Structure 1
């Protein structure tokens, strides 16, 4: 039996660099040998629980070594990992678990109450809490020690599914993007080539591993190269600066908001940042103010563009071109191609705006259980249709002009207006709604809801937010609600959201 996917990585790292530090977490160093041994224990436990090749294993928890132990333990069996966003509301968690067909869920104990609330939304899988637990209810750590040693090796090909990552749905429900072992391997190689990851790197991981960017372009390339991850449970600007200085961090990934909060922190000016060599930023363009603050400290960014369906990297802009090509998201990654097509699927000349299409071994296999959406996502010749508008300049650099699907990116989180609009429409008194993204100094964008209401109805920001609280993640809830007499529409009845964004731009 040969595992050609991620499930082979731990054994190879244990053989090649057994005593190298793989993780630093909460002051503890974990070697590659220890990480690999723990992954084997998880494999044995999951096998004992009936997990076989192709079964889905979900994980709901904050960043911790156990996330990676479960990930590698699952893929060693040929199982499929389903990371669950910890910010999802109970109905959204239930959807992810049901849609993925998860057979088992590993979760942090603090999410037990949320899971109980999700029980009414559908049947939940077998559950294991992280940590030690109690004699009556042993947790993952205790169960790993008592699981029978050994497990059968699975035959795994690069085309086999490795993970299902849920991305906000344009029609109200999140879709599960199926990422293969090949997808995650090739995106790791893209990062190693384009971001020059080396075995001596020390990467500070401040973003949640359930995000495809943190996993596909953060943890996995570093592990593949045998470098070290300083893993943080969450993000705190002051602690991040402290960790950079203490561990001589060389690599850091984040979104504009995280970089801004660090630059605004009182410790920014006195923290030793001299070890930092590679900063990558995604989610949205880095504001000039942030570029200036970091350049004053001798630091510059790699920026990029991508999405869950591309594992997620599609393009990268090197630090050397940050100013010369400001506003661009860069060139296609080394093993990835990008082209621009018009509404008829024909290629357009350089400088012409059209839909961004992407091809390469990092492009996903399709949407879980949704062949119609999968078919619609690809062109007849197999390129992924991003749904975003952009153009290539004379040098081949990509510029994103607009979001064809009106997606909002708030603090690195994707928000699809249709999902929010469907729920706001259910509120008593609402007769029409349009959710738009508005500029925000801290988060890049935040959602606003522009609504029309029935005469005499009492609808305001507080009512809308109360209606949505518990139904969707809080970052998706509109920060402002504007009541209007009429929504601007096209002749076909579609809301002209660009008009609304322009109308409220100065508010």
Structure 2
């Protein structure tokens, strides 16, 4: 094949394991032979619409086989796939479709109005994925496509994917990931996670997020395993799916793994097929890690970001319980440094910024040369914006985002460190710490606590717990009890929303309020 990129994968997988299940979605199963055929027909259909090398094909919707069909079909043509966050408003979808200059937008019925808004704004051609024959334009489109194989000359250096960052400040930036970025990232996962060809992996996190697509789905398919697509997360339903399909590999964020343990049936659920749980997005507390270890499930953690493909660091199950708060060492083909403000490598225990280099790191931001240049130190190392320490063994622990750190009485406070401690309180299900103004110390901490019990603990109890385990300047001076915390699809706390909602002076509080901002 002349196509050395992602678009060649379905045909390569089909010639190796034609009859093996590639994708399961609801009651529907596609073998690798069937999936490869559908990708070929989809690619021919897109080509007939005028889509070719470098053109953008966007997708907005819940997890569905159509996402992967459109993704691989775009790669077959040398086109660029653009997955959009299905939680965005119509005007935001329209803005991003316009920003990338999408030629085609594939969407599900739940996003039909959004797609219409995008089409009206930019003239993008839309194709709907539906459940009823009359509304299912995508399946009709695929069925009408030709079976003629396409073999474009696609190299690993060609752009494959534009994945927009969460955009917590200003307009989201589109990280451009090449076929090589995604391929090398998948290789890192296959090598370090030690995936097997008979894996059956649950894909419940949204595929428009880099981790679900590139840390779970693509490596599993590269090995010839099966991905079970779930369009929405529900703990009870997920436990049913684990048992029904004999899931071997779970991938998600700590909030998902914690939610799975809440149903009363958790202790009796048959999890004997599950080999490992791979977590990312934020550090998992020891109590959660032990909950899975007690069920005989290996628990690993990792760290990365959209711009790094996303895998950068990996902590294997063998060190999970002994290295709580750490996210491990660089993936096999990745190099990571932690440097001070002058660009010098920090010593053990010192705080510095994480820099990443490797064939997994993006080529740049879409149409943002200034942002691209600013994101690379010396034009070579990607600047993560995350602060971290390195221990004597070489394991990295993420301390916090540079922008989330606050200064109290002249001392740097890293909220992630405080949150890790508070997660150990038996009455705390979830928590976040932000800095709030204080006339004496400049800033002090405020803890936002999601209780794990029907009756929340007192603010004094939370503060006392932290006081026993942290230096005084790190201890939050106020507590607000909330029913939930805002997180993005990768599980990361949206601290900007919390700072907007709780900017007042620090007065200890024990009022339960819902934060769904």
TM-score range normalised by the length of the shorter chain? 0.7 to 0.9
Aligned match of 2:24: 24
Change (3 A) 1:314 1:19: same
Aligned match of 1:251: 249
Aligned match of 1:328: 326
Alignment map for 1:169-248 (pairs within 5 Å): 169=167, 171-248=169-246
Mapped partners of 1:98, 1:477: distance in 2: 26
Change (3 A) 1:214 1:440: same
TM-score, normalised via structure 1 length: 0.80
CA drift at 1:327: 1.1
Mapped partners of 2:391, 2:37: distance in 1: 49
Aligned match of 1:98: 98
Are 1:195 and 1:278, in contact at CA under 8 Å, matched by a contact in 2? no
Are 2:40 and 2:150, in contact at CA under 8 Å, matched by a contact in 1? no
CA drift at 1:127: 0.5
TM-score, normalised via structure 2 length: 0.79
Are 1:390 and 1:398, in contact at CA under 8 Å, matched by a contact in 2? yes
1:314 equivalent in alignment to 2:334: no
Are 1:94 and 1:124, in contact at CA under 8 Å, matched by a contact in 2? no
Where 2:389 maps in the other structure, the secondary structure is strand
Aligned match of 1:130: 129
Aligned match of 1:348: 346
Where 2:23 maps in the other structure, the secondary structure is strand
Mapped partners of 1:319, 1:504: distance in 2: 39
Are 2:40 and 2:146, in contact at CA under 8 Å, matched by a contact in 1? no
Where 2:338 maps in the other structure, the secondary structure is strand
Mapped partners of 2:496, 2:91: distance in 1: 15
- Per-residue CA deviation, residues 279-307 of structure 1 (Å, 9 max, x unaligned), is 10011111233223222212231001110
Aligned match of 1:159: 157
Change (3 A) 1:39 1:217: same
Aligned match of 1:271: 269
Mapped partners of 1:318, 1:344: distance in 2: 32
Aligned match of 2:110: 110
CA RMSD of aligned residues (A): 2.9
Mapped partners of 1:315, 1:133: distance in 2: 43
Count of residue pairs the alignment pairs up: 438
Mapped partners of 1:285, 1:385: distance in 2: 20
CA drift at 1:439: 5.3
CA drift at 1:145: 1.6
Are 1:47 and 1:151, in contact at CA under 8 Å, matched by a contact in 2? no
Structure 1 stretches of 4+ with a deviation exceeding 2 A read 114-120, 131-135, 147-153, 168-171, 346-351, 405-410, 436-442, 474-485, 503-507
Are 2:37 and 2:147, in contact at CA under 8 Å, matched by a contact in 1? no
1:74 equivalent in alignment to 2:94: no
CA drift at 1:266: 2.0
Aligned match of 1:460: none
Change (3 A) 1:483 1:159: closer
Alignment map for 1:449-468 (pairs within 5 Å): none
- Per-residue CA deviation, residues 133-176 of structure 1 (Å, 9 max, x unaligned), is 666x7601112222344365321110111100000235411000
Aligned match of 1:481: 501
CA drift at 1:24: 1.5
Change (3 A) 1:101 1:504: farther
Where 1:112 maps in the other structure, the secondary structure is helix
CA drift at 1:79: 0.5
Higher relative contact order structure (alpha carbons within 8 Å, sequence separation ≥ 6): 1
Are 2:41 and 2:145, in contact at CA under 8 Å, matched by a contact in 1? yes
- Per-residue CA deviation, residues 91-136 of structure 1 (Å, 9 max, x unaligned), is 221221111111110000221123345567x32411111137666x
- Per-residue CA deviation, residues 405-446 of structure 1 (Å, 9 max, x unaligned), is 339999xxxx9x9xxxxxxxxxxxxxxxxxx9955468xxxx
CA drift at 1:359: 0.7
Are 2:373 and 2:379, in contact at CA under 8 Å, matched by a contact in 1? no
Mapped partners of 2:379, 2:103: distance in 1: 35
Where 1:343 maps in the other structure, the secondary structure is coil
Aligned match of 1:8: 8
Unpaired runs of at least 5, structure 2: 406-414, 420-431, 435-445, 453-492, 512-517
Unpaired runs of at least 5, structure 1: 418-435, 443-473, 486-499
CA drift at 1:265: 1.1
Mapped partners of 2:503, 2:186: distance in 1: 47
Aligned match of 2:424: none
- Per-residue CA deviation, residues 383-411 of structure 1 (Å, 9 max, x unaligned), is 1111111121111100111211339999x
Change (3 A) 1:4 1:506: farther
Change (3 A) 1:178 1:437: farther
Mapped partners of 1:505, 1:57: distance in 2: 49
Where 1:153 maps in the other structure, the secondary structure is coil
Are 1:351 and 1:391, in contact at CA under 8 Å, matched by a contact in 2? yes
Are 1:205 and 1:214, in contact at CA under 8 Å, matched by a contact in 2? yes
Are 1:59 and 1:107, in contact at CA under 8 Å, matched by a contact in 2? yes
